[in-house]
């Protein structure tokens, strides 16, 4: 077992990185005096990891969409009881989530941290599936899928992804489809669990006023030595161009919704964090509430306070995007693209860059006051394997206007974007 202190002199913070003998990476950020404690136990397994192989496989295997999310549900049931009833005894608040590139199990507490950590490490390493319980879960997850199908905000976003990508499974709902989960059985769940839940493919992240030696003692007791399976997970190759430039769906909404996304080449882990910071800053330069574009769109009645932007990034996908409500989504998208062309042609504004960069850096620093945010920062570092948890802060401090200008030119192509809209039935194009 190795232990390393990771420090950042710029902000005067540090955390501990431990490579446990089991193969698990453990990241601990101590916050003396804080009341809350947070722990996340995550694996590099999300909805896009449907095609993979290990050293024991002759070739790549492709499994049905939705298995990562299905596993998340099933791990909370063991042979004896429901995990939430165990957390109830310690007073911890337990939860889990599956995203496109990870599955994480977590808890928050103020007391009984050690007992809650034992619960977390124990149940995540104890899968229990039977054909009866798997069939029962299909109905529960099927209801969840149908619920999201009825959510216009969810649909406008996934319709955008479906317009951007030809083959990438990121365009499929994280939970899969009713048809895909019908193909899931207990042997398939065990195969995916044994492939992706090996400790060398996982990370434990903890933040709060905790004792490192106590944590390691619990880990020594509960962690089962994992095997490096030489796991390779791939996503299908994508054409450079979007699949569809315009996607429309009818919904019972009072005001049309839109999502405008720009197809951009995927990134390696080492490139990803810097590109994400650049994208966030460029998006803010173009469209935050202090921008000329926001003011002109708002004054024209084309957007309201729901207008926002984000960088959607992960393993095999990278999509800067704008979204919101608009009574004329196509006009709004046209004006956004006009502003992007103008910024590419005339250059980004230096004074606004200085202001936006300072605000972005400040938001990164504010995260450090919350143990919950720190734990999230650590798990992101461990899962993405992007270096150290301070990287985003250092990148934000050092970003230049010239880098942002180059990024805008290379990554925001108004001729290679998808506009997704959700409109009332009478307005469908």
Measuring CA to CA, which residue among 8, 13, 24, 14 is closest to residue 215? 24
Tokens at residue 404, please? 């942002």
From the number of C-beta atoms within 10 Å of its C-beta (0-12, 13-18, 19+), residue 112 rates as middle
The answer to whether the CB of 251 falls within 8 A of the CB of 423 is yes
Both tokens of 277, joined, read 């910071």
3-class DSSP state of 141: helix
Number of H helices, E strands in the chain: 15, 15
C-beta of residue 242 within 8 angstroms of C-beta of residue 316? no
Tell me which long-range contacts 390-394 makes (C-beta under 8 A, separation of at least 24).
Answer: 390/6, 390/8, 390/10, 390/11, 390/13, 391/273, 392/273, 392/276, 392/277, 392/364, 393/8, 393/10, 393/11, 393/361, 393/364, 393/365, 394/8, 394/10
Q: Is 227 annotated in the active site?
A: no
- What is the C-alpha separation between 118 and 141, in angstroms, rounded? 28
Give the closest residue to 196 by CA, choosing from 107, 377, 75, 39: 75
Q: Is the dihedral of CA 70, 310, 302, 408 positive or negative?
A: negative
Rounded Cα gap, residues 77 and 82, in angstroms = 5
Per annotation, catalytic residue among 4, 7, 13, 72? 72
Inter-residue contact 242 to 263 (CB < 8 Å): yes
Find all residues with CB under 8 Å of 289, minimum gap 6, and list them.
none
Catalytic residues: 72
């Amino acid at each position: 077992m190795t232990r390393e202190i990771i420090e950042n002199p710029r902000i005067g913070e540090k955390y501990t990185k431990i490579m446990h003998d089991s193969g698990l990476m453990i990241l601990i950020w101590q916050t003396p005096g804080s009341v809350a404690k947070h722990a996340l136990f995550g694996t590099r397994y999300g909805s896009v990891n449907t095609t993979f192989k290990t050293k024991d496989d002759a070739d790549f295997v492709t499994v049905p969409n939705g298995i990562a999310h299905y596993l998340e549900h099933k791990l909370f049931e063991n042979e004896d009881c429901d995990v939430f009833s165990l957390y109830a005894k310690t007073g911890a608040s337990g939860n889990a989530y599956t995203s496109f590139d990870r599955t994480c199990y977590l808890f928050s507490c103020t007391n009984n941290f050690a007992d809650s950590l034992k619960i977390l490490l124990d149940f995540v390493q104890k899968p229990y599936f039977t054909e009866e319980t798997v069939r029962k879960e299909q109905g529960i997850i099927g209801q969840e899928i149908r619920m999201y199908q009825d959510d216009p905000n969810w649909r406008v976003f996934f319709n955008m992804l479906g317009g951007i990508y030809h083959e990438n499974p990121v365009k499929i709902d994280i939970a899969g489809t009713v048809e895909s989960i019908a193909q899931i059985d207990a042997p398939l769940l065990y195969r995916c669990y044994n492939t992706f839940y090996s400790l060398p493919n996982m990370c434990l992240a903890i933040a709060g006023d905790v004792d490192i030696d106590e944590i390691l003692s619990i880990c020594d007791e509960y962690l089962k030595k994992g095997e490096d399976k030489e796991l390779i997970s791939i996503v299908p190759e994508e054409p450079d161009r979007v699949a569809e430039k315009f996607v429309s769906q009818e919904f019972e909404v009072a005001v049309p919704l839109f999502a405008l996304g720009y197809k951009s080449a995927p990134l390696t882990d080492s490139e990803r964090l810097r590109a994400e910071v650049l994208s966030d800053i460029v998006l803010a330069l173009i469209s935050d509430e202090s921008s000329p574009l926001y003011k002109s769109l708002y004054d024209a009645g084309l957007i309201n306070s729901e207008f926002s932007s984000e960088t959607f990034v992960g393993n095999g996908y990278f999509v800067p995007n704008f979204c919101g409500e608009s009574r004329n989504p196509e006009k709004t998208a046209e004006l956004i693209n006009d502003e992007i062309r103008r910024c590419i042609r005339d250059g980004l504004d230096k004074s606004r860059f200085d202001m936006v960069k300072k605000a972005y850096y400040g938001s990164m620093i504010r995260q450090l006051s919350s143990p919950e945010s720190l734990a999230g920062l650590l798990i992101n570092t461990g899962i993405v394997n992007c270096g150290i948890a301070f990287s985003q802060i250092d990148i934000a401090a050092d970003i230049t206007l010239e880098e942002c200008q180059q990024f805008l030119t290379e990554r925001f192509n108004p001729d290679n974007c998808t506009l997704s809209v959700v409109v009332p039935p009478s307005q469908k194009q």
